[in-house]
Chains A and B, each alone.
Chain A
Amino acid sequence: MDMNRSMGRAAVLAAVLALSACASQKAPATADVAVSRNAVANAVQAGAADLAPEEITAARAKMMRANEALAAKDYKLARELATQAQADAQLAQSKAASAKATAASNALNEDLRVLRQEVDRANSQ
């Protein structure tokens, strides 16, 4: 995840450096798209494909459209879509994380309940 993020950052930096000479709108848009791609990757790694399919699908669709807009040099749309994709991806990631933590917590609570029952039974003997 850290690797991904640093790689993403490096990519952003490279993009910024490479495109610094271009039109003023182009560089931030490219950077935003890169950040969003990174966010989507993080979400997928967190298990969003299974645990938050709706959000990750939306994020991917918007990423695709952001890339298209970037190719079409529509930098404003590219930024907007990238920002939305990022918000979707972050939601997908947090949703996946909370689903995992909740499941783990519920399992532990159940374990605890069973253990408590056993202890109570042992004590009442």
Chain B
Amino acid sequence: MTPRFLKPAVFASAILLAACSTTPTTTPTLDQARADFVAANNNPQVSSYAPLQFKEASDALDRANAAAAKKESLNDIDRLAYIAKQKIATAQEIARAKAAEANIADAGRQRTELTLEARTAEAERAKREAAEAQAAAAAAQQQAATAQQQAAMAQDQTRMIAERAAKLEALLVELHATKTERGMVVTIGDVLFATNQANLTPNGMSTLRKLADVMAQNPERTVLVEGFTDSTGSSSYNMDLSQRRANAVATALSSMGVPRERIAMKAYGEAFPVAANDNASNRQLNRRVEIVLSNENAPIPPRAASR
């Protein structure tokens, strides 16, 4: 590599050139030493880790080559070549040992690095797991809160339904409603109308307002307004009167905020009397408007055929 180390090689080629003219003076040991020298010279570890030993070996080979050039006895050349060969091998071994030692030092460094890396990874994993656990806990808490909220909402709804039912019940009691198969029936008696007219008295209006409240609080219920009269007078007159009275009730409810599509209407004239038309008070009972309040989300079944 360095010119210094090339010297024996130059020497060797000089000997080879000289050999062209004369018999080459060499021995198997010298040949071996020269070959070993070339190998050591090509080994970068030797130049970096055993430069002194290699210099010594190189000098020893120089001496052997010089002896060969001077055509000294084969025994002497062999002896010097042997020393050179052993020194070259020694330089190789020292270089190998130093390289291994350098590797040992580096392995220690790598080990430290690796241990650090492992600890860092472990710490990061622990951190990540902690974060995941925290997130899971937060999610569980969130879920619990949501469930609680839903439960509270359900409870609220149940209470609201119960309250509304109680309120409805109370109102219907106030309105003297009777429970029938078709639904609750509120009867607007004759006294709530002006005589022979379809106008409602203030008492009649007040009854209807309560009913309108019930309707407002129970949007899933509908009403059927049915008008009836007694048997006095012509049936066409009675049909007309019952029609007008039912109409008046429907219009009044509508004016109190009940949507028209929730109000059905039917006039029956003197049909379906609730009492015999044999005296004044019974006839008054027959002159009436019945308001059937549907059950929740259920249509009002029609009246059975005339009795």
B77-94: CB near A (< 8 Å → 1, else 0) gives 001001100110110011
Instruction: Tally the A-B contacts, defined by beta carbons under 8 Å.
Output: 80
Per the CB 8 Å criterion, the residue count for chain A at the interface is 27
Residues in A neighbouring B110, C-beta threshold 8 A: 112
In the assembled complex, the Cα of A100 lies from the Cα of B93 at a distance in Å of 11
Q: Which residues of A contact B98 (CB under 8 A)?
A: 101
Interface set, chain B 105-128, CB cutoff 8 A to A: 107-108, 110-111, 114-115, 117-118, 121-122, 125
Complex alpha-carbon distance, A98 and B79, angstroms: 26
Say yes or no for B96: interface residue by CB 8 A criterion: yes
**Which among A1-9, A16-24, A102-110 touches the partner chain?**
A102-110
Contact A94 B100 (CB under 8 A): no
CB–CB B79/A105 < 8 A: no
Contact partners of A70 in chain B: CB under 8 A: none
B100 partner residues in chain A, CB cutoff 8 A = 98, 101-102, 104-105
Residues of chain B within 8 A (CB-CB) of A84 are: 79, 82-83, 86
A122 B122 Cβ-Cβ under 8 A: yes
Given the known A-B contacts A105-B107, A112-B111, A115-B111, are A94 and B86 also in contact in the complex, defined by CB atoms under 8 Å?
A: no
> Using Cβ atoms and an 8 Å threshold, which residues of chain A touch B103?
105, 108-109
B121 x A97 contact (CB < 8 A): no
Report A-chain residues with C-beta under 8 Å of the C-beta of B118.
115, 118-119, 122-123
Q: What are 29 contact pairs spanning A and B, CB under 8 A?
A: A84-B86, A87-B82, A87-B90, A90-B87, A91-B86, A91-B87, A91-B90, A94-B93, A98-B93, A98-B100, A101-B96, A101-B101, A104-B100, A104-B104, A105-B101, A105-B103, A105-B107, A108-B104, A109-B103, A109-B107, A111-B107, A115-B111, A115-B114, A115-B115, A118-B118, A119-B117, A119-B121, A122-B118, A123-B121
* Chain A interface (Cβ < 8 Å from any Cβ of B): 80, 83-84, 87-88, 90-91, 94-95, 97-98, 100-102, 104-105, 108-109, 111-112, 115-116, 118-119, 122-123, 125
